[in-house]
Amino acid sequence: MTGSLLLVPNTLDLGAEAADIRDVIPDGVLRRAAVLTHWIAEDARTTRAFLKRVHVVHPLAQALQAIDIRELPRPRKGAQAALPDRLAWQGLLQPALAGTDIGLISEAGLPAVADPGAQLVAAAHALGIPVRPLPGPSALLLALAGSGLNGQSFAFVGYLPQDAGARSSRLRELEQLSRRQQQTQLIIETPYRNAAVWQAMVQVLAETTRLSVASGLTLADESVHTGTVAQWRKRPLQMPERTPAVFALLAN
CATH (one of 3.90.1010.10, 3.40.1010.10, 3.30.565.10, 3.50.50.60) for 5-133? 3.40.1010.10
The sign one gets for the Cα dihedral 237, 238, 242, 243 is negative
- Cα–Cα distance, 9 to 34 (Å, whole number): 13
159 sits in the region (left: phi over 0; alpha: psi -120 to 50; else beta) called beta
Percent of the chain with pLDDT over 70: 95
Contacts of 189 (CB under 8 A, 6+ apart): 159, 160, 197, 245, 247
Q: What is the mean pLDDT of residues 113-139?
A: 93
The full set of domain ranges for the chain reads 5-133, 139-250
Q: Do domains 5-133 and 139-250 have the same CATH topology?
A: no
**Lowest-confidence range among 9-23, 79-93, 140-154, 155-169?**
79-93
- Cα–Cα distance, 243 to 185 (Å, whole number): 20
What residues pair up with 225 in beta bridges, in sequence order?
213
- Cα–Cα distance, 41 to 103 (Å, whole number): 8
- Give tens-digit pLDDT for 90-125: 899 999 999 999 999 999 999 999 888 999 999 999
Output the pLDDT for position 77: 46
Whether residue 186 contacts residue 140, with contact meaning beta carbons closer than 8 Å, is answered with: yes
Half-sphere exposure of 62 (CA within 13 A, CB side): 13
| CATH 3.40.50.11810 holds for 139-250 | no
The pairing of strands 131-133 and 5-8 is parallel
What residues pair up with 109 in beta bridges, in sequence order?
10
- Give tens-digit pLDDT for 60-85: 999 999 999 999 987 654 445 455 56
